[in-house]
Structure 1
């Protein structure tokens, strides 16, 4: 099932769209509050549908925040007709701007297009990598073998994979993982240790999962 995060302050509209997309094995989880949406474990979703007129925070700020931290396709769905909003949204990370009102068939077509493009890019990037992941099937492969992971391990690995070769802070990992709640907790240390074991990595001389003192962690291929 395709998992879509929606940040939309009109619950009737999100319900209507969700009921339509459900026919195509697409599940929408909507948050009316943008702050709750930002802490909803974004890396667990395949795509984001984002309204611009939101309570307490402008949708463009939400778009900028998410696109700077996560590799997720973003569709802006808004009744705001100012062309400057469209231009700004696309410049700061949105992949598509779909003005309201629209036929849900059009939204479905856009979703399919973006997910096809995203999968193609992931395949190209992973061609020479030891890691392959498929979020739609909730699976991660290492050297062509599927990793057997707990939910928490999977969430941490997805964050690291989506930011491969970049340093990811403990706070980023915790905020993107529904199974973790405290960046200062030793539970993240335990998870990192278990992941190293499953990757046959040494903590003293790691090949893949590196601890960057005072900054966080980095996953390299």
Structure 2
């Protein structure tokens, strides 16, 4: 099921939009603040962001942040239909726009079109806080800096990003990456150590996200929390 995140200043429109999307079996999430937007994109599977900018400064700020976290399309809702306003929004990061007041038929058509485009990308790419894994070309980059990973390192990173906030045991990683049982668990630790090192070289905060769960395995945390817990950073 597709999920759409909506952040609109016009509260009266929310109930109508929710009803429209529900009929199309599209999950609808609402944000009430910039903080909500960031939290949901980091912790939910979002396929499209619909945003009504209350000011150009807020629009630029949120667009920039969303694009560093994910490559999901952004649909801008705007009351200004003059050429300059639309171009400014598109240059700021929007992928499409719709004029307010929202026409329901046009809104649904644009939602579906953007979800179709997003679907073709999301199958082959994983995005996380500026980190991009292209599973078609086996390429990895962080904030446009390419990263050279071995096949096993790439597969480990893919596995972690596909199972965020879940503890993965060394045995599970062996079966998924190596495909057989009898591999020394120290082999897993060695490859993960190398993966950490390479991600550090491009300044990705790997130690804030990939934690060792002592006695179990590893977990990829979506939020880079610093407080003490049962999960620890490891070399």
Higher-Rg member (1/2):
2
1:202 corresponds to which of 173, 185, 188? 188
Q: Does 1:216 align with 2:185?
A: no
Q: What is the alpha-carbon distance in structure 1 between the residues aligned to residue 53 and residue 118 of structure 2?
A: 23
Indicate if the aligned counterparts of 2:68 and 2:129 stay in contact, CA closer than 8 A.
no
Instruction: For residue 72 of structure 1, report the CA deviation from its aligned partner.
Output: 0.3
Q: What is the alpha-carbon distance in structure 1 between the residues aligned to residue 8 and residue 172 of structure 2?
A: 36
Structure 1's 7 and 208: CA in aligned 2 closer, same or farther, altered over 3 A?
A: farther
Structure 1's 82 and 161: CA in aligned 2 closer, same or farther, altered over 3 A?
A: closer
Instruction: For residue 87 of structure 1, report the CA deviation from its aligned partner.
Output: 1.0
Q: Does 1:52 align with 2:27?
A: no
Instruction: For residue 78 of structure 1, report the CA deviation from its aligned partner.
Output: 2.0
Q: How many residues align?
A: 169
Unmatched runs of 5 consecutive residues or more in structure 1: 127-131, 134-157, 169-175, 181-187
Structure 1's 32 and 122: CA in aligned 2 closer, same or farther, altered over 3 A?
A: closer
Unmatched runs of 5 consecutive residues or more in structure 2: 134-139, 144-160, 179-186, 210-235
1:71-119 CA-to-partner distances (Å, cap 9, x unmatched) read 1011001223443331122113211011101211111111111122222
Q: What is the alpha-carbon distance in structure 1 between the residues aligned to residue 122 and residue 32 of structure 2?
A: 30
Structure 1's 44 and 120: CA in aligned 2 closer, same or farther, altered over 3 A?
A: closer
Please name the residue that 1:107 is paired with.
Answer: 107
Structure 1's 101 and 160: CA in aligned 2 closer, same or farther, altered over 3 A?
A: closer
Does 1 or 2 have the higher relative contact order (CA < 8 Å, sep 6+)?
Answer: 1
Q: What is the alpha-carbon distance in structure 1 between the residues aligned to residue 7 and residue 94 of structure 2?
A: 14
Please name the residue that 2:4 is paired with.
Answer: 4
Indicate if the aligned counterparts of 1:46 and 1:72 stay in contact, CA closer than 8 A.
yes
Q: So what's the TM-score if we normalise by structure 1?
A: 0.61
